[in-house]
């Protein structure tokens, strides 16, 4: 089993790629505008919010919940840039699941999770104006 922080590192990249694809196909704007929009989807705060909703909805299976726990509890030696440590750890946890699903070639499950995260983010953004 890979280190949860290594899984999170992979998951961060995968999420960023899927979000960029989603935004480019949906918005068709200039790169700066696309970047500003993508931050709503890939921020630690947004990821932690999505994780909380998905846990409440019992979205994850036992194996994924184990990865979440390991990712949340992993000791990172980098500091959270614009958030508190608890939010940062939750975002690392969901990124670890994304990385795990990618590395075991569970593409269908990976895409279901990312699509759900995108849906949660869009609902949150539209509710906040």
What is the 8-class DSSP label of residue 60? S
Other CB atoms within a 10 A radius of the CB of residue 107 amount to 10
Q: How far is CA 37 from the centre of its chain?
A: 15
Angle separating helix axes 107-127 and 44-56, nearest 10 degrees: 110
Determine whether 84 is an active site residue: no
Active-site pick, 12, 16, 66, 105: 12
As annotated, the active-site residues are 12
């Amino acid at each position: 089993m890979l280190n949860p922080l290594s899984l999170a590192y992979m998951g961060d990249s995968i999420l960023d790629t899927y979000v960029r694809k989603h935004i480019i196909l949906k918005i068709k704007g200039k790169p700066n505008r696309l970047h500003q929009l993508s931050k709503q989807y890939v921020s630690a705060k947004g990821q932690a919010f999505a994780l909380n909703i998905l846990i409440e909805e019992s979205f994850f299976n036992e194996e994924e919940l184990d990865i979440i726990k390991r990712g949340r509890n992993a000791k990172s030696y980098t500091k959270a840039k614009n958030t508190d440590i608890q939010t940062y750890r939750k975002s690392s946890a969901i990124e670890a699941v994304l990385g795990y699903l990618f590395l075991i070639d569970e593409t269908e499950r990976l895409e279901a999770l990312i699509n759900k995260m995108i849906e949660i983010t869009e609902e949150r953004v539209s509710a906040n104006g």
